Chains A and B, each alone.
Chain A
Amino acid sequence: MSKVSKKVLTKIKKGEVERLPKWRFVAKRIFIWGSLVIAVLMGAFAVSMVLFQLFGVDWDVLGRGPKGTVMDALQVIPYFWMVISALLFVFVYFDFRHTRKGHRYSATAIILSSVVLAAVLGTGIYAASGSRHVDEFLGHYEAYQMMHYDEERMWAAPENGLLGGEIIELDDGEIMLLQDFIEQVWTVDIEEARCGMHCDLEIGEKLKIIGEIIEGGEVSFGFKAEEIRPFRKER
């Protein structure tokens, strides 16, 4: 028996070193994989929020908002969710590297796989309206609203043909009274407006209207609607 062997075995016999129980290692693996699954699911939610915000943008009227094309374009990019997604993918990479076989895969393969998985799950969450619920929930928090694409400000440009607000009165499907976001009441002529699949208007509903200000009419704040859209897209 060698010197090293003798010393090691003596220490073991004396009980100076004991084996760690198997459950400790199993628990560690469960923790790593559990956090990995949670991170991928959170990444999927973040991706669904990116989709929600990008699909929620009225790209056809971008640039007609009060701030102009460049500012509007910069405003609609969902930075917050993109940063959250990126951080989660970095976490997934390092967490996966800590799995038993994680080191066998390249960084590109790990990150690409997690992005694809999160994108597929995120699309599913978006399609199931999950992202809308999250957005509505987070919308109650001022901090979130500040980071969010400000749809109200975008649709507060009647001089550029964009008017947003809440219906306060409806009259025979021809005229409605709409209160905009600075509480100005507008008389809106909707007789010739396209409304797509959203023609059942109700008092209290928020709308986005494309049209033009009626100049020199009988009412001081008149607006002729060409197209009516719901304020939030369904997803």
Chain B
Amino acid sequence: MAKKKEKNAVEVNVKELKDAELVVLTLQDDSEEFFEELIERYERKLLRYVMRISYFDFAEAEDILQEVFLKVYHNLNEFDDEFAFSSWIYRITRNFVISQVRKNKSRPNVVRIDDEFAESLIERLPSEIDLPRDFVRKELKERVRSALAKLPEKYREVLVLYYLEEQSYAEISDILKRSVNSVSVQINRAKKKLRGMLT
């Protein structure tokens, strides 16, 4: 059931608020209720995202996420509503993950490719990259997983954001701090590279 907050005699249905509105209310209000809603909205998505772009396991990803939300709270005044909140929080998460990976240089950077990632690409990519039709699905999934694991990080990263996190080109541009053209080129190159590995 949606939480409700009474403020100045106006009932605010927290669940119906947009992310940017929650940020404004968090900044205005002394209670953490609005921020809690933001955490709820992004926790699962970001947990998956952290694990998709790094080698961290579930427990480590949770710790990272905790730090990410604290960072978000710490820098909340920096949020600019001309950008999507999701782009902002994804960017903070990505930067934090990169810094954590750099701190653990000795650890081999083997990214886990989950079933969902491989499945999602198999579902969405055939028309775009002409996947071989003669493979049985299980075999195809294994090949896609193996190809994704070998794909350079910069290409895998854009595929994760576009196909799994379902971010638009403009949002990816804001997350990675690159131009939309550069993002578009990167995605096309990633698909081309993947096609090369699969055929």
Contacts and interface: CB of A to CB of B under 8 A. Distances in A.
B70 A106 contact: no
A141 interface: no
Contacts of A97: 177
Interface residues of A, number: 26
B125 interface: no
B73 A106 contact: no
B180 A2 contact: no
A25 interface: yes
B193 to A, nearest CB: 22
Contacts of B179: 103-106
A9 interface: yes
Contacts of B181: 106
Nearest to A3: B62
B39 A4 contact: yes
A12 B35 contact: yes
A103 B70 contact: no
A21 B39 contact: no
A100 B83 CA distance: 9
Interface string B15-43: 00000000000010000100110011001
B178 to A, nearest CB: 6
Contacts of B134: none
Contact of B74 (A1, A2, A4, A20): A20
Instruction: Please report whether the interface of chain B is mostly helix, strand, loop or mixed according to DSSP.
Output: helix
Contact of B40 (A5, A17, A18, A105): A5
Nearest to B177: A103
Nearest to A107: B179
Given A4-B62, A100-B80, A103-B178, A11 B36 contact: no
Interface in B24-69: 27, 32, 35-36, 39-40, 43, 47, 62, 65-66, 69
Contact of B32 (A7, A12, A103, A106): A12
A25 B78 contact: yes
Contact of A21 (B62, B77, B180): B77
Nearest to B174: A103
B10 to A, nearest CB: 24
A18 B70 CA distance: 9
Interface string A91-112: 0000001001101111000000
Q: Among A1, A3, A4, A13, which residue has the most Cβ atoms of chain B within 10 A? A: A4
A203 interface: no
A25 B77 contact: yes
B66 A4 contact: yes
B98 interface: no
B99 interface: no
Contacts of A7: 66
B35 to A, nearest CB: 7
A188 to B, nearest CB: 63
A9 B26 CA distance: 12
A12 B73 contact: yes
A17 B39 contact: no
A113 B83 CA distance: 24
A101 B39 CA distance: 26
Interface of A: 1-5, 7-9, 11-13, 17-22, 24-25, 97, 100-101, 103-106
Interface of B: 27, 32, 35-36, 39-40, 43, 47, 62, 65-66, 69-70, 73-78, 80, 82-83, 173-174, 176-182
18 contacts: A1-B36, A2-B40, A4-B65, A5-B40, A7-B66, A8-B39, A8-B66, A12-B32, A12-B35, A19-B75, A19-B76, A25-B78, A97-B177, A100-B80, A100-B82, A100-B83, A106-B179, A106-B181
Q: Enumerate the 5 nearest inter-chain pairs by beta-carbon distance, A residue then B residue, closest first.
A: A103-B177, A22-B77, A8-B69, A5-B39, A25-B78
